[in-house]
C-alpha cells in the first residue's frame, strides 16, 4: 500500500494526469526553483487526507490496514526466531511525514 501512496505522490509531483487526481493533491512544476520544498509541502498536505483512505484511488485508510500473511525466519544462530503473521493489521502509518525531498 505504501508503494501506491508513493506512486500517487510521484504522479502529483510530475503533474502527469493531474486532471485525474483528487483536488487535495496539488502538483508542482518541474521547473520550479523551489521544487523540493513544493514536493515536501504538498506531499505532507496530501498525506493528511490520504491517511483516511480514498475510494477513488482504491486506497484503504492507513491505520488498521490489513497486512499480508507472512512467515519470517531469522538466520542468526545466536538469536533464532521465527514470526508467523496471520490477519495482521498495521498501525501508525498515518503519522508518516515527508521530511526532505531531492
Q: Return the pLDDT at 1.
A: 53
Provide Rg for the chain, Cα atoms: 17
What angle (nearest 5°) sits at the alpha carbon of residue 43, between those of residues 2 and 92?
45
Q: Which of 1, 56, 60 is nearest to 23 (CA)?
A: 56
Among 87, 90, 44, smallest CA distance to 63 is for: 90
Cα-based angle 57, 16, 10 (whole degrees, multiple of 5):
65
Q: Give per-residue pLDDT as tens, 51-88.
A: 898 888 888 888 888 877 877 777 676 777 777 888 88
User: How many beta carbons lie within 10 A of that of residue 102, not counting itself?
Assistant: 6
Summarised one tens digit per residue, pLDDT across range 12-47 is 544 444 457 888 888 898 899 999 999 999 999 998
pTM for the whole thing?
0.61
Q: How far apart (Å, rounded) are the C-alpha atoms in residues 62 and 58?
A: 12
DSSP 35-84: HHHHHHHHHHHHHHHHTT-BGGGTB--STTEEPPPEEEE---TTS--EEE
Amino acid at each position: 500500500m505504501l508503494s501506491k501512496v508513493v506512486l500517487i505522490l510521484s504522479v502529483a509531483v510530475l503533474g502527469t494526469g493531474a486532471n485525474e487526481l483528487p483536488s487535495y493533491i496539488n502538483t508542482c512544476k518541474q521547473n520550479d526553483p523551489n521544487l523540493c520544498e513544493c514536493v515536501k509541502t504538498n506531499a505532507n498536505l496530501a498525506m493528511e487526507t490520504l491517511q483516511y483512505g480514498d475510494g477513488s484511488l482504491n486506497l484503504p485508510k492507513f491505520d488498521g490496514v490489513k497486512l499480508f500473511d507472512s512467515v519470517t525466519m531469522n538466520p542468526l544462530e545466536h538469536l533464532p526466531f521465527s514470526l508467523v503473521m496471520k490477519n495482521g493489521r498495521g498501525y501508525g502509518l498515518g503519522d508518516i511525514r515527508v521530511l526532505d525531498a531531492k
